[in-house]
Structure 1
Amino acid sequence: MTVKLQDELPVDHRLATVYRAGAGFCGLVLLVFGCLGFADQLRFFDTDGSRIAGLSTNGALSLISVLVGLTLIGAAAVGGNLASTVNMCVGVLFVLSGFVHLFILDRPANILDFSMSNVVFSFVVGLLIMTFGMYGRVTGGLPHDNPYWRQRHPEKATSEDATRVASKASGRQPLRRAGS
């Protein structure tokens, strides 16, 4: 069974709002941070410890922040599963970046001028963005009306739909499962 991400969630599903809001908010934060770095006219690979909003930065980190921020804002504009998937991917990249930069602090390989505050920011923002992307999509206890549960369990979903239709036709209320 192949799962097509674009087919899993109806365009107007309420989870799409969460994905869009998360991508838009985090994208805006990164865009502002990057633009502030450009406004200070930081050199591209400068590692002298220039700070913006409590984080050390240089021109390269500002450029990356702007590009990632625009990617997240673009995903928020499109919405739906694309926003969710982009949130999850960007969140994972932020967490990985935090780990990589944790090991290269105070070394010549630290070309983005990361400090410990940048590492913590990378972990926190990465987990936040991932949470927005995974919300209502990744858990063992999804309700049975969730489109992701239905996509992963098509036989059970069809059976429950048939039971629901038969119950409505006979005038009885179907038995509800705990948690649904």
Structure 2
Amino acid sequence: MTTAPTRPSSTAAHSRPRLHEDVAETPTARRVKHVHRLGALTVAAVLAVFGLLGFVGGLDYFSTDGGQVAGLSSNGLLSTVSLLTAAVLVAGAAKGGRVAGIVMTGVGTAFLLSAFWHLFVLNTQLNVLAFAMANVVFSIVVGLLLLTLGLYGRVSGNLPEDNPYRANLEAGLQPPQEEPDLPARTPQERMAEAAIREAEIAVAEHRATAAQLAGVEAMRGERTKTGRRRIWMELTTH
């Protein structure tokens, strides 16, 4: 009589655990988080001051000519955008870890795209943020700074051993380790193999029971005999 599984259960995944930089407490991990957080807050402070000075100066909201604020051209809309961007950076800094790096990388990319776009629309009606050439240079500088800070500790050919991004990279590059494909060595394992063969034949001939179908389905992603026996025996013990 074939012993068939009564209910499927989840099996343990053979994957290497990843070290997340938001929970890692190594010296390098702490330094990476501090750089991300302080970098985001510093740039946010500069943008917030620029935005507030624009509002204090009473600039026209949609003027394409703009007014002078700290050596840059600005209008009410650019002041609003600056304050909103500062708020996004502060939120990323408050979250810290990977989020702060991702936020700075995204905002830095937006600054660079904005700079290149405004090179083409200077002195036109499409210049809704009242950019001048000084603003373009400022956007490029800030964009590169944010990208550098956001990618700090994440992109390097010589990451320290305790860098959490290195641990994530190595874990992602290594394929999951499979169980060794060993022959059946115990009576229980031989019985499990016989039951597996019978269940697979029954499935192929469309006469399998619901329990046999469930067992074969549970083994579908397992390629080694050792793993298939383990899954079947785990199922039949419940």
1:124-170 CA-partner distances (Å, limit 9, x unpaired): 0011111110001112222232111111112899xxxxxxxxxxxxx
Out of 15, 18, 23, which is 2:35 matched to? Answer: 18
After superposition, where does 1:42-53 map in structure 2 within 5 Å? 42-53=59-70
Unaligned runs of 5+ in 1: 1-6, 158-180
Larger RCO, structure (CA 8 Å, separation 6 or more): 2
1:80-135 CA-partner distances (Å, limit 9, x unpaired): 11111100000010011101011111111111110000000000001111111000
Cα distance in 1 for partners of 2:140, 2:173 equals 38
Partner of 1:174: none
Partner of 2:167: 150
The yes-or-no answer on 1:123 pairing with 2:140 is yes
Name the % identity.
Answer: 48
Out of 31, 34, 38, which is 2:48 matched to? Answer: 31
Would the aligned equivalents of 2:39 and 2:146 in 1 still touch at CA under 8 Å?
yes
After superposition, where does 1:43-122 map in structure 2 within 5 Å? 43-122=60-139
Relative to structure 1, is the Cα distance of residues 156 and 130 closer, same or farther in structure 2, using a 3 angstrom cutoff? closer
Per the normalisation by structure 2, the TM-score is 0.60
Cα distance in 2 for partners of 1:102, 1:139 equals 32
Cα distance in 2 for partners of 1:43, 1:49 equals 7
Relative to structure 1, is the Cα distance of residues 10 and 77 closer, same or farther in structure 2, using a 3 angstrom cutoff? closer
Would the aligned equivalents of 2:122 and 2:132 in 1 still touch at CA under 8 Å?
yes
Structure showing greater radius of gyration is: 2
Unaligned runs of 5+ in 2: 1-18, 175-238
Partner of 1:8: 20
Relative to structure 1, is the Cα distance of residues 134 and 156 closer, same or farther in structure 2, using a 3 angstrom cutoff? closer
For residue 36 of structure 1, give the secondary structure of its aligned residue in structure 2: helix
For residue 159 of structure 2, give the secondary structure of its aligned residue in structure 1: coil
Per the normalisation by structure 1, the TM-score is 0.79
Would the aligned equivalents of 2:22 and 2:98 in 1 still touch at CA under 8 Å?
no
1:32-88 CA-partner distances (Å, limit 9, x unpaired): 100110111111111233010000000000000000011111211221111111000
Cα distance in 2 for partners of 1:141, 1:98 equals 32
For residue 17 of structure 1, give the secondary structure of its aligned residue in structure 2: helix
Relative to structure 1, is the Cα distance of residues 155 and 78 closer, same or farther in structure 2, using a 3 angstrom cutoff? closer
Relative to structure 1, is the Cα distance of residues 155 and 113 closer, same or farther in structure 2, using a 3 angstrom cutoff? closer
Cα distance in 2 for partners of 1:59, 1:10 equals 37
Would the aligned equivalents of 2:59 and 2:66 in 1 still touch at CA under 8 Å?
no
Relative to structure 1, is the Cα distance of residues 118 and 144 closer, same or farther in structure 2, using a 3 angstrom cutoff? same
Query: Which residue identity does 1:9 align to in structure 2?
Result: E
Partner of 1:134: 151
